[in-house]
Amino acid sequence: MLNDRRCVPHIPHRGREEKVLHNGIAFLTEMRHPARRRLRMMMCKILKEDRKGLIKNMEDENEIREKMIAIIREKARQCYSDRIVDYGTNPGNRGIIEDSDGYAEEKNECGGNIKMFLRVKGGKIEESRFVASGCIFTVAACNAATEMAKGKTIQDCLKINRRSIIAYLGGMPEDHAECAFLAALVFQRALRNYIVTNKKT
């Protein structure tokens, strides 16, 4: 969650604008924040995107949210790769699979859970989904792992690890490499769950 300091670690050399951007991305990821009005005005002031008061005077929450999303994504692409921004804010593989063939769950550093679901057909991953709460990097890493697995054999999926996820995302800040590690860990446990269950049947 946004107000969890573990999601937004203190970095001495991070500028004020980048801190607000980071918080704004977390807001976009979680879609909730107890002080979103204050955050909105802070973003307008620091990012200097509201000279005419376009956001300040908005009453419709959906309109405010859309404007914030546009600002955040534009600024985020200056700091992070397109995949991190896209996967972290709009993950295509988020969701559950009923009666999945493989499943695993693990607590993450942000205080939430990461869950992964696999559907296997003909020895290949037909579908892979996840549910995760946390920072943009956690969500992006989970989405990357599930995306990398699609259409791959079980043997090929064993190669999905922290390093390959970070490479697939086009890099990741060092202080968030743990997010990729956790995504790989949960994915591999879901894969092992399928292998073990499949041997028993």
pLDDT of residue 198: 85
Architecture of domain 102-200: Alpha-Beta Complex (3.90)
Mean pLDDT by groups of 10 residues along the chain of 201 residues: 34 46 56 49 55 55 66 75 88 95 85 89 96 87 97 96 96 89 96 89 55
Q: Cβ distance 110 to 133 under 8 Å? A: yes
* Domain positions in the chain: 16-79, 102-200
pLDDT of residue 47: 54
pLDDT of residue 31: 43
Residue 120 three-state SS: strand
Q: CA-based Rg of the chain, rounded to a whole angstrom? A: 18
pLDDT of residue 29: 52
Q: Cβ distance 117 to 129 under 8 Å? A: yes
**Amino acid of residue 35:** A
H/E/C letters for each residue in 144-163? HHHHHHCCCEHHHHCCCCHH
> Torsion angle of alpha carbons 82, 139, 183, 122, nearest 10°?
-80
**Amino acid of residue 84:** I
What letter does residue 56 receive in the DSSP assignment?
A: T
pLDDT of residue 107: 84
**β partners of residue 124:** 121, 153
| Token pair in block for residue 27 | 């807001």
pLDDT of residue 97: 96
